[in-house]
Structure 1
Amino acid sequence: MAKYTGPSCRQCRREGGKLFLKGEKCFSDKCPVVVRAYAPGQHGQRRGRVSEYGTQLREKQKVRRVYGILEGQFRRYFAAASQKKGVTGELLLRFLELRLDNIAYRAGFGSSRAEARQVVRHGHLTVNGKRVDIPSYQVRAGDVVAVTAVAKEHARILGAVEAAEGRGFPEWLSVDSKALSATIKAVPVRDEMPQDLNEQMVVELYSK
Structure 2
Amino acid sequence: MKKLLDKLSEQWKLKDSQNKKPTKLGYLVIVGLLGALLLLVSGLFTEQKEPDRQNTQQTQNSTAAETEETFAKKENEASSSTTDLEAAYEQDLVGLLEKIKGVSEVEVMVNLNSTHQKIYEKNLIIGQQTSEETDQNGGERVVEDENEEQQVVLVRQGDQEVPLLVETRKPEVRGVLVVAKGAEQATVQEWVVQAVSRVLDVPTHRISVMPKN
Larger radius of gyration: 2
What is the TM-score when the length of structure 2 is the normalising length?
0.22
If each structure's strand is expressed as a fraction of its own residues, which one has the higher value?
Answer: 2
Higher RCO (CA < 8 A, seq sep 6+): 1
